[in-house]
Structure 1
Amino acid sequence: MNILQTNLKNSIFGRLVITFLIIIIPIYGLAIYMYNWGLSTVKIEISKSTIAQVSFYLEGLEKEIERMKTLQYDCLNDENLNKLAIRSQIMSIYESTESMRQLQQRLVTIRNSSVYIKNVSAHILPINRTISSNSGLDDLNVEKFKDIRVPAGLGGAQIISYKGGLYLSTLQKRDLLGSNPLYSIEIELDEDVFRQALTQFNTYNGSGSILISIVDKGIISNQKDVGNTYEIKNIIDKINTDTDSGTEYVNIQQKGYYVVHARSTYLNMILLKYIPQEYVMKPIKNFNIWVWVFSVAVIIIILIYSFSTYKFMHKPLVQLVKSFRKVESGDLQVAITHDSNSEFGYLYKRFNDMVKNLNNLIDQVYNQRILMQRAELKQLQSQINPHFLYNSLFMINTMASIGDENLVPFSRYLGEYFRFVTRNSADYIPLIDEINHAKVYTNIQLMRFAKRLRVDFGECPEKYHNIKVPRLILQPIIENAFEHGIERKKNSGIVSVYFEENDKQLNIIVEDNGNDMTDEGLSDLKKALENTTEDLEITGILNINRRIKLVFGENSGLAVSRSEMGGLKVILKIIVSGGDEIVQNVDR
């Protein structure tokens, strides 16, 4: 892979940048933490201040409502009220009128005791009259008398919402004969006064306050037209009012609000105050600007450091590494031109000197080594086993003497064998030719040992047929199996040759069931195959191992182990390369 495409984490430049980021990021993170801490502190203080303000108002309102309830309950025991409810039929007109007048004066006194009271009324069912602090004597509104009653189970202040109004109602429980209430005292609260009181919380433009009834979800707001206010409806829907108090952030039509609420259990109400986000953020506006300035400064520092590191370290290093890559690929004419006096200038000069010296030595060392290897391969290819030659000639003589009909095919096989061995025109041949030569050799051996030998010879995958391989790499392995594994067996000798492929790797496996290979001998053979020293004597199987490695690389070659049949197992491993297709030629 080109050095320019190297992953950052594997390059010096990337590691320097990452190290710098590891240092600068915690500093930046600390600054962001301080900013968030300051922002959170301001929000908490605003929230606490607003909650305290709202809670203080609710506490005052609770005390005021409680005082009204006390006056209301006291009025139930009013002497004139009881006379009108119980003795009205036996009272004179004067007594009735005087009792009504005195009762109204008391109701006016209650009304004037609080700015929150709009009207106080006494509903007297036996005389079918309502005495009001505002309008005096009226006919009793029976429907209203029945409807304005405290719901069962409602505790606390017992504020009732009825036809857009807020009421405090208490009644005389029972008369002496029946279960219907005799009379009730009703206090009508003034919503305008509530709105005026809520207006004191509107310290910011766009802010507002809402008093919400938990019982019937009735709303009192500093805005009269609350029913048509989309923002207020959405604020109420989005906040969590299950807690006694709290602060939440809501977004309505892309406009943010901080909402503070406090609950009054006694009033069964929630007081909610909402503030536009921009007013909450205003105290920290300058601090926010400095955070952005700091962030931009950090980015500029990172860019300057990265650019400097790239220019003065990464770029010269890339040039040096690219030159080394060219040398690795065989280009010995590369030279680095530079005018640098830094440490890289020294490295460039030493690199150019190294390439120059390498060019001077290449003819003396490399070319000489190649010639020696080719001479070695020629010598190895020309080896013929004299013992096999003598036995084959005696076999021909015997066949001729007894008139054996196999004399003709045997002599033909033997001719093909020696023609292949003695042919020196090509260093490399297709793999299928090498396999066919090995089959000729096994046919000769089968004729020699027909009664005590069996050969299982598999088929090579067709896509590997034309791979160019050194001559005489398979037949000597099979010959070794005959000589050292099968030749001394009197019967049931087996030699198995088969092929296994895996991606770009072909394994040619030769096994026998001979018993001549000891564990010590097998261990010595393994060590010899693993020995890569130049002064090792190259004979037998070691020849093939060296030749395969020279052609196909160090990962190819021979491996030996104990066969499952009891004899020796030799694996000839060939690793090919060249993309998605099998390599057809190997140039050496």
Structure 2
Amino acid sequence: MLKLFLYKLNFFVNIKIKNKIIVSFFLLIICTICTISAFVINEYRNSLETYTTVYSNQVVDQVIKSVDFYVNEMQSISPIANYNYNIQRYLKTVQPDNQLDVTMDFNNLVNFLTEIESLRRDVVSIFLIANNGSAVSDKYSINIDKNYNFTKQQWYKDAFQHDDKSIIVSPHSQSYVINSDKSVVSLSKAVKSYSKDEIIGVLLVDLNLDALEDICKNAKLGKDGYVFIVDKNGNIVYHPDYSYISKSDDTLISDVLKSAEGNFIRSINSEKQQVTFKRYEPANWTVVSVTPYSEIVQQINNMKTFMFLICFVCLLCAFLLSIFIASMITKPLKKLAHFMKKAEKGNLDISLDFKGNDEIGMLGQRFNTMINEIRILMEQVVKEQEEKRKLEFKMLQAQINPHFLYNTLDSIIWMAEVNNENVVLMVDALAKLFRISLSGGQEMITVEREIEHIRNYLIIQSMRYTNKFEYEINADESILNNTTLKLILQPLVENAIYHGIKAKRQKGLIIINAKKIDNNILYEIIDDGAGMDKTKCEEILKYNPSNNINKSHNGVGLKNVNERIKLYYGENYGLKIASEPGKGTTVQILIPISFNIMNINDI
């Protein structure tokens, strides 16, 4: 896993910056959109579940209000019986202590009951039951079962026990009517005599289920949601599926009857349903709403689909935007890379025209500054190289000075004529002097070769100027293999001879030291010659390449050496002169230690 991560990380590091920006921006947008989408969908799910619960409660409350209004309307029929003369007369005449002809007002009674029935379309039939169990209906067509005992029915007994209110009877079949299989809901109400305040019979009103069906069907619970009503005994009063009416659904009803109201989620055959219920106390009915959870899930899925489309559009826009932003960022970088390739090939006549003060604009400004500085440095290097060539040429000119060469050859001829044994030594010194001076065209030689060169020069000069001066050379062995700019000692020794020792009558002394000081090499040329004042010392060392080089007797002066050292090693290095008239001069040369030893072959 770690190797895979490192591999992918390495792959990401190596792809182009434009692709990095696109991938990074796109991944950031994806993470953001996915997080927001998940949050929105989760909140939507919770809100939808809460809304469904609240809405189901509202639907149940509305159904209960409608049922209550309906029941109150039905109950308004019952008081009529207490004040109707025909009803009162009929119920009294059928009493055991009154044997009047019970049919004398029968037609009037039936007509009155028919009028009551006609007031409402949901009234199936109306029955008036006397205390002796005899009954009369509002319709001539109804055949009442003479063997049916009304007085033993629970609703009849309840009407006597609760004579001040109507008793609602759950759905039942009209078993007291011959050849009738109708399922009805009934209201039973005790009828009192208005003269004696005693119960003289019971009014039974049978109602069809159309009103309850209309009430429950008007309750909107989605596509497959529905409302049903159950009584206190667990019998279903109304259900959209008529096959459930007067039956019991133990799997659901037992949970509904445990409390007066509530809601829960149940599963039937792996399908969830949200159930909300509330009891209607006047009838001891419980109104139950059932909403399939699949409808909630469907709405959530619709929301997911909608969010997916939004996310897709957002991701597409984000992808295009990331390409646009990446192009805006990388376009100037590509231009910068193109210009850098041009600069790499040596074209320095270029300039970026980036606008703005952002990082890319600053990068373009820095690039232009860098190119300009490189151009200046290259011009400076070219100029310095030209100066070096001029100084090198003058140095070689000094070494091949005709006067020095003629005088040396004259000395050799004279020594040969007089058979002077030192002639061989002088010739050898002259040969070595020019061999080191040329050095295969190299500018750097070892300290050891530089010391050897100045020794050969002093050998020649000491033979030419016999008894004029003595010399002493001291060099630390630890620096002999280090490199040094060549031919920097000869001009100083030459200056000491011609401007110091020759101006002195007595025999002079020249001391040459080469030693290590910290990380530098220090050369010292000390003479006890005529010396010079401080002003002249300062004039000699004034560094100005545009001026003519202050030359010594043989054409190469101290200033030449000082300029060469500063060109090669920098302004921190060069010559220092300490002199006092009549006492001598000390010239110091300071250069850095370098171990870039060059192979110098003898020529």
Shorter-chain TM band: 0.3 to 0.5
Which of 1 and 2 has greater Rg?
2
TM-score (norm 1): 0.39
TM-score (norm 2): 0.38
